Chains A and B, each alone.
Chain A
Amino acid sequence: MMLGAKAADSVTKFDERLMTLVEAMTTQAAIAQTPKGLLWALNKARLYRYVPVRPAGQRHPVPLLLVFALMNRPYIMDLRPGHSFVEFMLGRGYDVYLLDWGVPGPEDKNLKFDDYTLDYLPRAIRKMKAVSGAEEFSLLGWCIGAILVTVYAALRPDAGLRNLLLLTAPLDFSKPEKITFAHWVGERYFDVNKVLAAFGNMPGEMIDYGAKALKPVENYIGNYVKLCDSLENPKAVESWHAMNTWVTDNIPMAGATFRQLIVDLYRNDRLMKGTWMIRGERVDVSHIRANLFTLIAEADHITPPCQSETINERVESKDKELLRIPGGHIGIMAGSAAAKTTWPRIDQWLSARSRKLPRR
């Protein structure tokens, strides 16, 4: 009798765990829940302003614009209630804006870095300045978003950019032997023109495969083993579910932008060599004068530290800091430790530089 009850209990437990596993792997988590309003739209790009949680008098006067990569969804910055960078920054009194690049369609295959940095970004910034009434602003770029804001900061140093924050920024491609992606997309083995002739844009699935193949065992096996091990821990499952929702939500990258990324940056390191031409203007990072905060993830396999280490030496900014944080490319901002390590450090640096300056 006792044995029967125990067996029934085991079956029920197994059933519950199986249901949790299937649900976590096959459904979408409730993510990006922080209230926001749409301010501006152009083609697929959208500018949002998060609803401030502090009264105007208690907020920093310098607004913060978040710019994420082109080939992933930006809601990683607002992953889930209780564990959201946006929510954290709102709580610390920032006026937070988010530029969502959207999903490029076949008609966007000719969009280049030139368009993103000299059309979309300046227009979104103009709207943010008009709405906030601020003349100065802060820009936070993460991953490819960091390339975009770096180019903008170099080409438009007088546009009112006070603070520039670069997170896991792939800017320096001078050490290809340390960059796995550089091996794969080298001229010998990867025909970028053939790929783009076939697909137009770089398919999200291929980008996703590339990112996951850097650490195949962790991404294709370890990730699911981790979930199986934590099925009886609802918090861990919730966290895994939210992250999996983001990881599996892949978007393509505009073809011409992808070509520039491979040819101009990965193969020829034109940004740091100072030979990158964006709509006829040479991008010279030494023109950057904004206060600069560079954040490196020590265990980043997508953007190895060597890609972000040199930027601080190259800019003209007088106020600059480079911080290394243990963790991976996404983990440092969205991992379970981010709220205790990375976010407070960003706030600490930014709050001191987001105060109203005395009139000259």
Chain B
Amino acid sequence: MANEQTNDGNASEATDAWRQVRDAWLENWAKVMVEAVNTDAYAKATGTLLDSYLTASGPVREAMEKVMLSLLAQLSMPSRADVLGVAERMTNIEMRLDDMDAKLDRIERLVSKSPMGTPAGRAKKRRQ
């Protein structure tokens, strides 16, 4: 029993020690990396990588777009641009609806503030 406890204790100590070493190593590595990503060389490298990707994929993307456009036209289906155009028009309609909602809110507020907006005010008007 005592042996078992000693074994468990040793294992725990070993794990703690390993964690300390690991954390210290990670901390140092993190500092080095933060410094590295702050350099001009890193900015240049990522910029070059991104630029190369965009340059290489650009012609493929354009060709695909042309093929899709003609395919959709032949199938009498709306293109991506057509769908996007409809979506933009929907947003414009929503804007107009929101303008109307604002006007209605204003009217409602004015009506509720006027004497005619209250039941007592309406009864008074009827008596007149």
Contacts and interface: CB of A to CB of B under 8 A. Distances in A.
Chain A bound to chain B: yes
18 contacts: A43-B91, A105-B87, A106-B80, A106-B84, A107-B83, A183-B39, A183-B40, A184-B43, A184-B46, A188-B44, A191-B47, A194-B51, A198-B54, A214-B37, A216-B30, A217-B30, A221-B26, A222-B26
B74 interface: no
Interface in A81-118: 105-107
Contacts of A214: 34, 37
A186 interface: yes
Interface in B16-67: 19, 22, 26, 29-30, 33-34, 37-40, 42-44, 46-48, 50-51, 54, 57-58, 61
For the residues of A in contact with B, the DSSP-based class is helix
A126 interface: yes
B13 interface: no
B91 to A, nearest CB: 5
A123 B101 CA distance: 10
A180 interface: yes
B34 A215 contact: yes
Interface of A: 40-43, 105-107, 119, 123, 126-127, 130, 180, 183-184, 186, 188-191, 194-195, 198, 213-218, 221-222, 225, 229, 301
A189 B37 contact: no
Closest 9 CB pairs of A and B: A189-B47, A107-B87, A217-B30, A107-B84, A43-B91, A130-B105, A183-B43, A189-B43, A216-B33
Given A198-B57, A217-B26, A184 B94 contact: no
A190 B50 contact: yes
Given A126-B102, A214-B37, A216-B37, A189 B80 contact: no
Given A194-B51, A217-B34, 13 more contacts: A41-B94, A42-B94, A42-B98, A107-B84, A107-B88, A183-B38, A183-B43, A188-B44, A189-B43, A198-B57, A214-B34, A215-B34, A217-B29
Prevailing SS type, chain B contact patch:
helix
A189 B44 contact: yes
A123 B96 CA distance: 12
Given A183-B38, A184-B47, A215-B30, A195 B54 contact: yes
B72 interface: no
Contacts of A40: 98
Contacts of B91: 42-43, 107
Contacts of B83: 107
Contacts of A218: 30
B43 A198 contact: no
> Which of A106, A191, A217 gathers the greatest number of chain B CB atoms within 10 Å?
A217
Contacts of A184: 42-43, 46-47
B33 A186 contact: no
A214 B51 CA distance: 20
A37 B47 CA distance: 44
Contacts of A301: 34
B19 A229 contact: yes
B95 interface: yes
Interface in B97-112: 98, 101-102, 105, 109
Contacts of A198: 54, 57-58, 61
B64 to A, nearest CB: 12
A230 to B, nearest CB: 12
Given A106-B80, A215-B34, A225 B26 contact: yes
